[in-house]
Amino acid sequence: MVVLLALVAAALAPSCSGASEPQITVGFEPATALVGEAVRYRITIAHAPQERLDGVVVDDADGTFVVQEQRIERHDPGRSSVVVFFAAFELGAHIFPPVTASVTDTVTGRSARYVVEADDSLVVKALSDSTMKRLLPLKPVMDADLPVRMTVVGIMGLVAVLVLLGIVLYRRRFAVVPQDAVDQEKTIREALGRLEAALARGMAPERCYEEIGRLVRAILAARYPACDCGAATAEIRERCSEGGTVPPDAVSLLEMADMVKFAGSRPTDEECRHAVERVRRLLRSHEDRDSKEGQ
């Protein structure tokens, strides 16, 4: 009988040891932290394989610590960890608040709670040195030392900009009339002669003013390449007449041509001959200006 009881006790021994309380270890880092700095507080629980760590509850009654984050890490069936990130905002040494861990047996469904407390305390320091008793004297502001290479590059860049600006101003003031512009003006003079001959043979006024508008635009294109002479008359007046670039007489001739083409105006033969003469004077004024600039 005694032998039988001994065998039963030996058979029940493993199950009793499996039902023992889990082993809990606590650690945190860093041991010294600044105000508001996050501190990692780790609770590791070695439990039975069929048990599961459900979570923890922090009991911080005095409000010294602030829980920023917590998460559960399951390493293997018999070991789990809870990592809680604390932050303290009061100076001095503080004991971590009690943490209650809940463990559930997945076979029986029974739950157990274990209160965990750390033995060591956390030291919280200020962000600045509180032992400072006086303000240090202000240091004078020091100019930044620029490398010699950057200085040379900056000077060369400034010289290049000034040279480019001088070239642009010189070309605008003493621009040489291109040969193709001279040839185009010769073609315009010949076209004016043919237009006068056509008027003498009874050319229609609207046809005459259409040709006048085309010749005026050709003169402007030869004289002012930057001006969009193919645009509408209003745009030419707004874009090109600023600063006296385009003569007002050229814009006036274009407006008269538009009146005949779009508004149904019907000029007389005398008005047509007078308009042709104005185009001739416009062309001659450009030639006289070019000859003066070339001297």
Report the alpha-carbon distance of residue 31 to residue 124 in Å, rounded: 9
* Between residues 141 and 275, the one the model is more confident about: 275
Q: What are the tens digits of pLDDT across the range 169-222? A: 876 665 444 555 556 778 888 888 888 888 888 888 888 888 888 888 888 777
Cβ distance 82 to 42 under 8 Å? yes
Is the model's pLDDT at 34 over the cut of 60? yes
- Specify the pTM: 0.36
Give the pLDDT confidence score for residue 13 in this predicted structure.
38
Task: With cut-offs at 50, 70 and 90, classify the pLDDT of residue 16.
Answer: very low
Structure-token pair, residue 96: 């971590």
Q: Is 149 helix (H, G, I), strand (E, B) or coil?
A: helix
Q: Would you list the domain boundaries of the chain?
A: 20-125, 146-175, 176-294
Is the model's pLDDT at 253 over the cut of 50? yes
Give the pLDDT confidence score for residue 1 in this predicted structure.
33
CATH code, 176-294: 1.20.120
Domain 20-125 architecture:
Sandwich (2.60)
Give the pLDDT confidence score for residue 20 in this predicted structure.
66
Cβ distance 53 to 82 under 8 Å? yes
* Between residues 164 and 8, the one the model is more confident about: 164
Report the alpha-carbon distance of residue 220 to residue 283 in Å, rounded: 9
Q: Around Cβ 293, how many Cβ atoms within 10 Å? A: 12
Is the model's pLDDT at 53 over the cut of 50? yes
Report the alpha-carbon distance of residue 37 to residue 88 in Å, rounded: 7
Task: Mention every residue, 6+ apart, whose C-beta is less than 8 A from residue 174.
Answer: 293
**Based on C-alpha coordinates, what's the Rg of the chain?**
49
Report the alpha-carbon distance of residue 161 to residue 167 in Å, rounded: 10
Give the pLDDT confidence score for residue 289 in this predicted structure.
57
Mean pLDDT of the chain: 75
Task: With cut-offs at 50, 70 and 90, classify the pLDDT of residue 290.
Answer: low
Q: What are the tens digits of pLDDT across the range 79-116? A: 888 888 888 888 888 888 888 888 888 888 888 888 88
Burial class (CB in 10 A: 0-12, 13-18, 19+), 99: buried
Task: With cut-offs at 50, 70 and 90, classify the pLDDT of residue 3.
Answer: very low
Q: How far is CA 265 from CA 84, 117, 278, in A?
A: 92, 104, 19
Q: What are the tens digits of pLDDT across the range 64-82? A: 788 888 888 877 788 888 8
Cβ distance 286 to 182 under 8 Å? no
Share of the chain above pLDDT 90, in %: 2
Is the model's pLDDT at 7 over the cut of 50? no
Q: Identity (one letter) of the amino acid at 104? A: T
Report the alpha-carbon distance of residue 92 to residue 124 in Å, rounded: 5
